[in-house]
Amino acid sequence: MRKGEVEEVALKVGGFSQTKKLVIGALLGAIAFMLQSAGIFAGIGYLFSMMSTAPLVIASLLSLKIGTMTYFVTIFLLAMFQPSELWVFPFTTGLLGLALGVGLKYLRRSIFIIPFAAICLSLGIIILLYGFKFPILGPSVTTNFSGVVILAILVFSLLYSWLWQFVSLFIIKLLKRILPRP
């Protein structure tokens, strides 16, 4: 059932012109930027910030090229208007959105999608934490290499990817109802 829904939505958006796809990708990039920027507000802002994954999933369903363009549009907007979020988005929420979109479109089975997205998210967090020494996990987790921290990141990434796959499939069901027939 899920595979058919993803393919049906991909078929519907596949019928869009390149110009329409480009405009939709740019709008999704702007939405992702606004959602990611909401993280500067404590409390509910963090919830909005996490939602910046969704526009990238949708853009990646349009095509890999549009998903990648949306990813970079969001990064450029963050660089201009909210540079404090520039470290977080490319390595976490943005990367997860791209990975889930690609997984839903090409891998098509949860047994492959969730680990693929989790590995991408884990690598992004590990690169930030150990490569750039950016305290993405807060001040209580040191930037010194730790196997326990890496294991915790992997477990968290698996659970978070599973949750986002569920959310993404819900969004796909909504899109299936909203989009016109091809």
pLDDT per 10-residue tile (average), the chain, 182 residues: 66 78 94 88 77 94 92 96 90 96 89 96 95 87 87 96 94 84 63
**Cβ(90)–Cβ(130) under 8 Å?**
no
pLDDT at 159: 97
Name the pTM for this structure.
0.90
pLDDT at 14: 67
Quote the CA–CA distance of 15 and 80 in Å, as a whole number.
Answer: 33
Quote the CA–CA distance of 178 and 138 in Å, as a whole number.
Answer: 40
pLDDT at 140: 80
pLDDT at 2: 55
pLDDT at 1: 39
Alpha helices of 63-131 — where are they, by DSSP H? 64-81, 88-91, 93-102, 110-126
Sequence-distant (≥ 6) Cβ neighbours of residue 36 within 8 angstroms: 49, 52, 74, 78, 82, 85, 88, 89, 93, 94
Identity of the amino acid at 129: L
- Give the domain 2-178 fold: Arp2/3 complex 21 kDa subunit ARPC3 (1.10.1760)
